[in-house]
Structure formats: structure tokens, C-alpha cells
Amino acid sequence: MELLQSKDLPGKGSFSHGIHPPDNKSLSRDAAIEVVPTPKRVVLPLLQNIGVPSKSIVQPKKQVVAGEAIGVGEAFISTNLHSPINGVVENTGVCTLPNGRHLPAIYIKAEGEQLSGQALYEDVLGGPWPKDCPAIYYPSTISKAIHEAGIVGLGGAAFPTHVKVRPDDTKMIDTLMINGCECEPYLTNDYRVMLEAPGAIIAGALHGARAVSAREIIIGVEDNKPAAIERLKKEAEGTVIKIAVLKTKYPQGSEKQLIKAVLGLEVPLGGLPSDVGVAMSNVGTMAAIARGVIREKPLTHRVITVTGRGVSNPKNLLVPIGLSMQDAIDYCGGLTKDAARIIAGGPMMGFAFSNLSMPVTKGTSGITVLTHDDVRKENETSCVRCGRCVDVCPMQLVPTKLAMASRHGNLSLAHQYNIMACFECGCCTYVCPAHIKLVQLIRMGKAMVVASRK
Amino acid sequence: MNAKVDLTETNRVKDAAPAINVSPSPHIGSTSNSTRRMMIDVLIALTPAVAMAIYMFRVYALIHLGLCVATCLAAEYLFVRMRGKSISLNDFSAAVTGVILALSMPATAPWYASVIASAVAIGLGKIIFGGLGMNIFNPAMVGRAFVMISFAGAMGAAAYESGAGWVDAISQATPMNALKQAGALTPIGDMFLGLTNGSLGETSALACLLGGLYLCYRRTASWEIPAGMIATVLVITGIVDLVGGHGGRLILHHLFGGALLFGAFFIATDPVSSPLTPRGKAIFGIGIGALVMLLRFLSGYPEGVMFAVLLMNAVTPLINRWTIPRTFGEY
Ligand code: SF4
Ligand code: SF4
């Protein structure tokens, strides 16, 4: 029956190549979302989206209430920022993010009564999510509300959502494609949202589709999440939304691969989903849109997974943005003795970091802590030209050639082999028997190409 | 109170801190996968052929296996030391070259042929290019070709037939030679099981198939290469068989007699000297198959796998350039 549902879609439910890493989702899959207690302090970096930082509009000592704007995104690709708690601005300082960027940030100390526990859960994810009201809004009203609410893509890339759902006369959008694949191993935050708040996702999807004037709405979910598929289907009954069941495979959730798997379309090299009439976002973002538009509440909280064998009690958490990684890990019982690597996000594309004072941002999908046994070995030997990296690259590149071209600074060779098409999924590095850091080399090569263009 | 709790928490994480390491993504890797594991796979896959060689050729097999493996390891050690690189014996690639080389020798080849072939295989076939992964030609075949040309007399048909009487098989002609010289067909069953004369490891089609299928299953060998080779041989011999009215026996003879299967699974599939892409691998296999048939039918030699592999190795960089895959989204 599930397959029937995807049969009326043109895609084949999968893309070519890719890998099947052990998903390790059972560590946290069955842990219902818990609300962490309001922390004593939150740290809100002014850049929480791809693009331009927001501008601070508060001064130290200023009282703020939960949901109040403290930063505005003035540039086109920028977002607003809101305080997740009631409190006082302590100071505006600097903080470092897992990807190594130093950023100005607003520090807010909690003060007074706080919305917490079940009440907070109800406010963010719970309650009824009316499905019939998109028609009462103009598309522009919806995208304006999304802009106001400071919503970015919650899948990890953190691209400002209002830019994606902006009605655009030059590029017609037929389909709103919603990513519920969660193909990164370990992470289960999207899964839990699909299970616990399918109503918010469906309502968000209907509003999002109205904003871009899309006729079709498809939610893609991997077949290792049958319970989520059931919940979404039930919730979507009577709407135009279709659920596409996809093969479990990494990186099924990559936007180009997902469009290929569901719609059978190939986004042109160097192009965007909108080039084939698709707007793409993930399920968590839909829930944020529903809250932003229907309840007029900004994005101040998100669901993250804290998991891995390096964490005592893996959990899914509803956290205020700005919570420190340390607080999140402590809430899950702390690190275990053999914890070896702490990653913001999942183990395939996440950033490793060691400074636990860093905050959870809008783009943080989770924290994965690996033990020494889990971590990839890095004793590099020579490439034996086995071609395994070629066999798995979802972009159908020749990773070994790209890596060697980067290593030797041969930009014309890198160009010939389409180095810029690599989206750094890591499949090639995952399979390489010689343990060559292919992605790292390719990343370096891409940087050289970009530099040479200037 | 609270402050105190916080402090211990921080301390605990600090204690753990030295063990926390930072590195770029991806942070996990396929665990069952290393160069060394690939080489061990090859050694495992070769065991049926080795067992069959020892069963058929007794002490002759042991002598060549011992000489080749020992010389390959020694040569690797020596040459790598000379280049001032760290010793690479533990990746087992030299051992693999040794075993494959030994299995490609005739039973009664002189001992120095094995020693020289091994030294050349590692020295000229591999280290001179920069070691594992850098060589263009299959090292074992470079060594084999070197002694075959240097000691044409001792390595030719005579080496396959001058054997002592107590190993029966050695006194017969090899199936391919019998076919070439006298047009005689050896019983198919004998060739399949390996009860014939030939190079040490090539006689048993069964042993090669068993090991080869394991290698393909493990994906250590790319199936496109043996498939391309075998399919091409089937097509060409099929046509000749039909025209000549051999009733299928010529096909099986070319398939099971001689080094075709051994070459298809263990020699041509050397990842280093074969192409990168699936399409390239298929072209490579088809090329070898066609060259083998050309050499078997038209050259003075009864066999052609070794030269066919070496010739296609030379074309591999070109094949790689011809078969750059179409990038996703490229029109
Ligand atoms: S997987 Fe590694 S060893 Fe194999 S061809 Fe690619 S880079 Fe070389
Ligand atoms: S080359 Fe890039 S896109 Fe291809 S597998 Fe490697 S990281 Fe992924």
C-alpha cells in the first residue's frame, strides 16, 4: 500500500549510487520529545542562517520577553532573531560556532516566569493545527509571516525560508517537496516531529504551498520510518498532500537526489530545485511555518537529537535556540568515558567540535557523540584506484580524480571533472579502502576554484 | 549548591576533554573496508587454486610458491627501504603479487626464473612507479613477461612437459598447446576440475570460479571485468565453434583450458592497473577477451592472457579519460 502511494509519482523511489551506513537510529528513535528546563542563559549568535548576519536591536540590561525580536535581518538573505526566554540582555559578545566561525552574539540571562514543560510543548508542537485556512491568506501574507518569524531551513543548511517561499514571477513552482527522509545516521529529531506533530507539518505544508502557489505537495519519507509514514498519511487525508515512500539510503535527503527519487527530474548542474519547478524544505521547517503563520509565533525553539554511544541517555529534546551544547548533553546524562568525538549534526556531514559552551542554533539538528570504536580510521594509504568512490558518488563524479587534482592544485583537471558539483556528502570517503580524506581534499579544491574566479 | 554542581559537571567534561578529537566529516567509515582487507580477500580467494596446485604439482608448486612469496616480500622490503619510504609489507600487496606470480609459473620452470620474475615484478612492476597504487602495469605480469622473454626456452612449452614421471599431469601437453599444435581437445571434465597440465594455478576452472565469485561478492574484484572478458571469449569462440562444427567443445576448451579464468578473476581485476568506472571496466574486460582470442588464434603462443592484460593496462589511462561519467544534472 505504501508503494502504491509512490507509484503514481514519476520517480523510482531512489537515486543511483549512495551508501547504506548503519543508521543507529534505534538509540533515540523511541525516545519521545522532552522539553529541557529553561536554562540560566542562552547565547544567540547574530548569524543563524546562510547569508548575512542579523543586526542587533537590543542593548545590555534591556528586558526581553520570550518571542521578542532582538535582531533584524535587513539584507535580502538574512533573518530576524528572537529571544526564546524571558530575561535580560547581559551583553553582546562573541561566540564560536562548531564550524569554527567567530560571531557576534547576544547573551540573555533568564529572569522571571518562564513558559516551560508541557505548556511549552503545547505552544510549539501541540494542539490543533487547522488545515482549512490557507485560503484565507494571500500568498504574500504567508511569506511575510514566515519572514517575520525568522524561519530558516531546520534540516541543517539554515537557508532563510522566506526567500524560498517568496512568490516569484520568473520561476514557476509546481511542487512543494518536503524532506522527511532524515537520511543522516543517528538523528531522529525529524522522525519524532513526524510522529508527534504530524498536524503541524501538514498545516505548515499547506501554508507553504500557498505561499509559493504550488499545486502539488509531496512529503518524502524513507521506508525505515513506517510509523511516521502512517501518521502523516492519516493526517494528510482529505488534502492534496502525497506521501512518497523512499528507499532507505544515504543521502536520500539531499535535495537533488530527493527530487530525482520522487519526481524523476534532474536539477541541472549548477542549478537549483526551482529550475525544475520545485521548492524544497524539510518537515521540521513546515512545523515552524505552521506555528509562525497560524499562531504568529517566531522560531525560538527546535527539536534536536542528542545521541551516540558517547552520550549516557540519548534523547530527543525540545530546546530553546541558544541553549549551550553542554546543557543539552548534561540533560542527557553527560558524556560517557569512551566519548571520542562530538559532532553538531550527524556523523556524515556534521561538524566536530570540542568547546561545549557553543550554543544550539536554528540549524542544529542534533548532537552526535561517537566513541573511539565508532570513529572513522584515518591512517591514509595510497589510492588503489579501486573505483569504489566512483561507484557510490550520488553526483556521479570521479572523487579520486577530484581529490588528486585538488592535492596537486590542478584546477583545469578539477574543472574538467566538475568539482563544483560535489556537495560534500562524504559517501566517497566513507567507502574508500585506502582511508583517503577525499571530501577534505575536494573541499580544498573547491575553495581554490572559487578563489581563482575572483 | 547549584554552582557546585556546575563545577563538577565542567570538571567531568574537562577530564574527558583530552580524548575528544576534532576532524572534518564524515566521521564514520565503512568498517569492513581497507586496502589490507582487500589483499587478504585476494589471498582467501586464491586458496582453492593454491590447494589445487599443490594437489596436482606437489613439491613443484610448493617450491615456486615459497620462492615467489619470499622474493616478493624481500624485494618490497629492500626497494622500499632504498626509496626511504616506510615499510609496506603489512598491506599484503607484495604477498598477493607473489602468490599470483607463482601460480602463473609452469611447474618445472627453473628456480631462478621464479626469483627473477618476483624481483622484477616488485622492482620494475611496482616500486619504480612509486609503490602500491602508482603502477600502470600488473606487477605479476611484468615479472612473468620478463622471464618469459629472457628464458624463452626454459619457460616455453618444454617447461610444461619435461616433468618427472611421478607427477602424471606434467608429462602431458597443456590443453592449449595440444590444441594449438595438434588440434587435440582435452576432456572438458578434466579441465574443469584441473586434472591437466598448465601453469600452477590455472588448471582448475572450478577453483578459479570459486575464488573469483567470492572476490566479486566481496566487491574486491569488479564483476564487470571478468564478465566482459568471459562474454567476449564466449562470443568469439562461439562463432568459430559454429563455423567449424565443434559442437560447443571449442568454446568450453577456450574457457576452461589455459589461463582465461585465472586471468579474468585474479589478474585483470587488479584494481590499480584497471579502469575506474564501471563502463571503463567493462571495456577493459572486453578488450582483454578480444586480445586473448587474437593471440590464441593468430600468434605463435598457445596462450595470450598475460600479454592481453599488459596491453590493456597500457590503455587504461585512456579508457579512464574516455569514460568520465556524465555528472548528475549535466546535459
Ligand atoms: S575509493 Fe579510495 S582507493 Fe578506491 S579509487 Fe577511490 S580514492 Fe582510490
Ligand atoms: S565527490 Fe562529493 S558528492 Fe561525490 S561522494 Fe564524494 S562528497 Fe559526495
Task: Decide if B317 touches A, using CB distance below 8 A.
Answer: no
A19 phi and psi, to 5 degrees?
A: -135, 170
How would DSSP label each residue in B39-92?
Answer: HHHHHHHHHHHHHHHHHHHHHHHHHHHHHHHHHHHHHHHHHHHHTTPPP-GGG-
Residue with cell 528572537: A82
| Element holding B20 (H helix, E strand) | none
Residue B240: which residues within 8 A CB-CB, separation 6 or more? B246, B250, B297
Q: How many helices (H) and strands (E) does chain B have?
A: 15, 0
Q: What is the pLDDT along chain A (454 residues), one digit of tens a residue?
A: 444 445 577 878 888 899 999 999 999 999 999 999 999 999 999 888 888 888 888 888 899 999 999 988 888 888 899 999 999 999 888 888 777 778 899 999 999 888 989 999 999 998 899 887 677 888 888 989 999 999 998 987 788 888 887 766 777 899 999 999 999 999 999 999 999 999 999 999 999 999 888 999 999 999 999 999 999 999 999 899 999 999 999 999 999 999 999 999 999 998 999 999 999 999 999 999 999 999 999 999 999 999 999 999 999 999 999 999 999 999 999 999 999 999 999 999 999 988 898 999 999 999 999 999 999 888 888 899 999 999 999 999 999 999 999 999 999 999 999 999 999 999 999 999 999 999 999 999 999 999 988 7
Q: How many helices (H) and strands (E) does chain A have?
A: 15, 17
Which residue of A325, A326, A348, A384 is the best one to mutate when testing the B interface, meaning the one whose CB has the most B CBs within 10 A? A384
| Shortest CA gap B277–chain A (Å) | 6
Residue with cell 557553543: A358
**Partner-chain residue, chosen from B9, B133, B326, that has the shortest CB–CB distance to A384:** B133
Whether residue A382 and residue B132 make contact (CB cut-off 8 A), yes or no, is yes
Residue with cell 520561476: A171
Tell me which chain A residues have a C-beta less than 8 angstroms from the C-beta of B12.
334-335
What is the Cα–Cα distance from B272 to B284, expressed in whole angstroms?
13
* Residue B78 CA from chain centroid, whole number: 23
ipTM exceeds 0.85, yes or no: yes
What is the Cα–Cα distance from A137 to B197, expressed in whole angstroms?
86
DSSP label at A117? H
Residue A340: which residues within 8 A CB-CB, separation 6 or more? A310, A370, A371, A372, A374, A375, B19, B20, B21
Q: Are A134 and A115 in contact (CB under 8 A)?
A: no
Put simply, the chain A residues between 308 and 367 with a CB less than 8 A from any chain B CB are 326, 329-330, 334-335, 337-343, 347-354, 356
**Partner-chain residue, chosen from A256, A341, A431, that has the shortest CB–CB distance to B328:** A256
Q: Which residue has the least CA distance to atom 5 on ligand 1? A: A385
Strand blocks (E) in A40-185: 41-45, 55-56, 63-64, 69-72, 81-82, 87-96, 102-110, 175-179
Tell me which chain A residues have a C-beta less than 8 angstroms from the C-beta of B326.
396
Smallest CA–CA distance from B23 into chain A, residue? A352
Q: What is the pTM of this model?
A: 0.90
Smallest CA–CA distance from B281 into chain A, residue? A387
Residue with cell 556534521: A350
Q: Are A20 and A249 in contact (CB under 8 A)?
A: yes
A154 phi and psi, to 5 degrees?
A: -90, 0
Tell me which chain A residues have a C-beta less than 8 angstroms from the C-beta of B26.
347-349, 376, 426, 429-430, 439
